[in-house]
A = this chain, B = another copy of it.
């Protein structure tokens, strides 16, 4: 029987195929390019990148499985010494061409830690998905959250309201006092307890990850052919600046990768293709752009309970 880590790695390997095939067929023009990479200290990954498509301007769907001695920065973070680790996950960010189509991010990961005899001493799942629109379509936000909630509701271990709030808290550009987007789910350190096993978490993790395309693809289909202006593109590029600010200033995963000798190009695939910074830019009051900012400054409950 496969170990839990092997089972999860097999799952994300297959999921990478499913997601990239679907996105390629949606795009109709560009294909993902795959790069295999190896980590000197153990493990590696497969990065798949799409660029300059008709629907997707830039995106990556990456899987990795790395292992070895726990890097110093992680020893310090977890307050352990002389440990080994294994970490695997799938991570994706998709930046569409049309400003009416939101950027999406998802990550589903699994982590194991061992003592120096090789015994497993800790393990957990983490992950989530979140949506970053440039123009607000409330029904899209509700749809995305509904798919998240439905997956949570199918599993005793998962708590939609809690994961939704943690997403709002995490994907927050504190220095701007605004959310990165309209949220989704965020969960981490999901361990077994008296009521639930790791197998329960694995089932939720696989279920949520398997429904990523259901959360995102209908929105792409609905918005990808909407007309847009150069002003819409300018706004998209300005907002993409905020995406860069979040990822480089606040995102723990990105900073951790940059500090622990991760593969730079795979980590920074999350950065948008074209970005603008204008000094002290504010949308016109009452505009569609201002409506988005209003929601980012005041995160909403998208699903009425």
Q: Is A137 an interface residue, CB under 8 A from the partner?
A: no
Q: How far is the CA of A276 from the CA of B259 in the complex (A)?
A: 23
Task: Pick from B248, B249, B264, B280: contact of A35, CB below 8 A.
Answer: B280
Q: Is the CB of A279 within 8 A of B248?
A: no
Q: Is the CB of B271 within 8 A of A274?
A: no
Q: Is A272 an interface residue, CB under 8 A from the partner?
A: yes
Which chain B residue lies CB-closest to A177?
A: B264
Q: Is A189 an interface residue, CB under 8 A from the partner?
A: no
Q: Is the CB of B249 within 8 A of A58?
A: no
Question: Given A269-B279, A279-B58, A279-B269, is A249 in contact with B258 using a C-beta cutoff of 8 Å?
Answer: yes
Shortest beta-carbon distance from A272 to chain B in Å: 7
Interface string of A254-280 (1 = CB under 8 A from B): 010011000011001101111111111
Which chain B residue lies CB-closest to A175?
A: B258
Q: Is the CB of B265 within 8 A of A279?
A: yes
Task: Pick from B176, B275, B279: contact of A275, CB below 8 A.
Answer: B275
Q: Is the CB of A271 within 8 A of B241?
A: yes
Residues of B within 8 A of A280 (CB): 35, 49, 265
Interface string of A262-300 (1 = CB under 8 A from B): 001100110111111111100000000000000000000
Q: Is the CB of A58 within 8 A of B265?
A: no
Chain A: number of interface residues, binned into ranges: 20 to 34
Chain A contact surface mostly: mixed
Residues of B within 8 A of A269 (CB): 279
Q: Is A165 an interface residue, CB under 8 A from the partner?
A: no
Task: Pick from B244, B271, B276: contact of A273, CB below 8 A.
Answer: B276
Residues of B within 8 A of A35 (CB): 280
Q: How far is the CA of A42 from the CA of B60 in the complex (A)?
A: 45
Q: Is A115 an interface residue, CB under 8 A from the partner?
A: no
Q: Is A51 an interface residue, CB under 8 A from the partner?
A: yes
Shortest beta-carbon distance from A26 to chain B in Å: 19
Q: How far is the CA of A232 from the CA of B276 in the complex (A)?
A: 18
Q: Is the CB of A51 within 8 A of B279?
A: yes
Q: Which 9 A-B pairs have the closest CB atoms?
A: A248-B248, A271-B277, A175-B258, A265-B280, A49-B279, A275-B275, A248-B249, A274-B276, A175-B264
Known: A175-B258, A275-B275. 9 other contacts (CB 8 A): A49-B280, A51-B278, A51-B279, A175-B264, A244-B244, A244-B275, A245-B248, A248-B249, A274-B275
